[in-house]
Amino acid sequence: MGYLKFWGVRGSIPTPGPSTMRYGGNTSCLEIQCDDKLLILDAGSGLRNLGNALMGKGQAIQAHVFITHMHWDHIQGIPFFTPAYIPGNSITFLGADEADRSLQSIISGQMDPTYFPIELDDMGAELNFRNLSEDTYTINDIRFETLYVNHPGNALGYKFYLKDTSVVYISDNEPFDTSAVASEEMLGEDGNQKLIDFVKDCDILIHDAQYTQEEYEKHRTWGHSPFTFTVDVALQANVGQLVLFHHDPLHDDNAVDTILESARQRVHNSDKSLNIIAAQEGLEIAL
């Protein structure tokens, strides 16, 4: 029926080099092929290699590119996405705009002549833009839900319903502070429960797991999760398979190995079961 393939798994900035060879150094980009439909999740530097692979097929390309948010590591591959330069191809970008700036304006901004020699309007393919908020959609027969997640700016998580498989993709997300919930003195709420409800019973969860718990204590309000939170959410939500994602640029392959082992140990210490892997460039999951 199709597959999900990782073309970029790194957070924040590309990290090429011998120490990241196994997991990969490109920033966020996933490919989903479902029947004849091409879905691309995020357009980080991994998008360049995906574009080259698509060009190798020698076919006209119709792609929907779902962007979680507009930080560089999620859009920096667009200027290097060769299919976008080919007349006859159709690329639709989907994501959340800002109150004072359109989706197209945000994406074209990084291709301002000051920063890049070719402007978005000069790309040869048909480019479309579709603004999303937190809602349920069916676009091109693809049913999906979105959720605002806890990251600076308007950031979305996606839940795709692909035939018999549900895939949730939340690249960047930080736990909410739930240290106080709805008392007379302190007004708060369990903001993480909404995330658990969104993820509930999905087959595959791809989620931010950038930090260890110790690292997270030094990086609060940076918009990312310790793997411990990610594992706990997956356990509470009865997820089928968890994919640890958005590896920290300071983490070499051995550090990612250690996080993966620790995440599996956390599950082992619970009374539940959960299959966990770490996202790796080139990894393909059958759908």
Partner 1 sequence: MSTDIVLIDDNEIHLQTTRRILQNYGFSVETLSDPVQSLELLPVINPRVIILDIMMPGMDGFHLLKSIKELPQFTDIPVIILSGKQFSPDKRKALALGAKEYLTKPVNSRDLISEIKKHI
Residue 276 CA to residue 254 CA, distance in Å, equals 17
Q: 85 or 222, CB closer to partner 1?
A: 222
The neighbour count for residue 99, using CB atoms within 10 Å, is: 5
Please say which residue, 138 or 179, places its beta carbon nearer to partner 1: 179
* Least separation in angstroms between CB 127 and partner 1: 23
Minimum CB–partner distance for residue 25 and partner 1 (Å): 26
Q: Between residues 48 and 159, which has the closer beta carbon with respect to partner 1?
A: 159
Distance in angstroms (rounded) separating the CA atoms of residues 221 and 216: 9
Report the residue number, 186 or 286, with the smaller CB distance to partner 1. Answer: 186
Least Å distance between CB 265 and partner 1?
A: 30
Angle value at C-alpha 226, between 175 and 233, nearest 5 degrees: 60
| Contact (CB, 8 A) for 284 and 5 | yes
Strands lying side by side in the sheet with 284-286: 126-131, 90-95, 62-66, 37-41, 29-34, 2-8, 284-286
Minimum Å gap between C-beta 191 and partner 1 is: 4
Q: Which of 152, 156, 154, 128 is nearest to 140 (CA)?
A: 128
Residue 144 DSSP class: E
Compare residues 178 and 265 and give the one whose CB is closer to partner 1. 178
By beta-carbon proximity to partner 1, the closer residue of 50 and 155 is 155
Least distance to partner 1, CB of residue 146, Å: 9
Which residues of the chain form contacts with partner 1 (CB under 8 A)?
96, 98-100, 133-135, 148, 150-154, 176-182, 184-189, 191, 194, 221, 223
CB of 194 to partner 1, least distance (A): 8
57/218 with CB nearer partner 1 = 218
Rounded to whole angstroms, how far apart are CA atoms 44 and 94? 14
Q: Would you say the C-alpha torsion 143, 128, 7, 55 has a positive or negative sign?
A: positive
* Structure-token pair, residue 84: 């976008």
Whose CA is closest to 203, among 132, 287, 116, 123?
Answer: 287
Tokens of 37: 């439909």
To the nearest whole angstrom, how small is the minimum distance from the Cβ of residue 35 to partner 1? 29
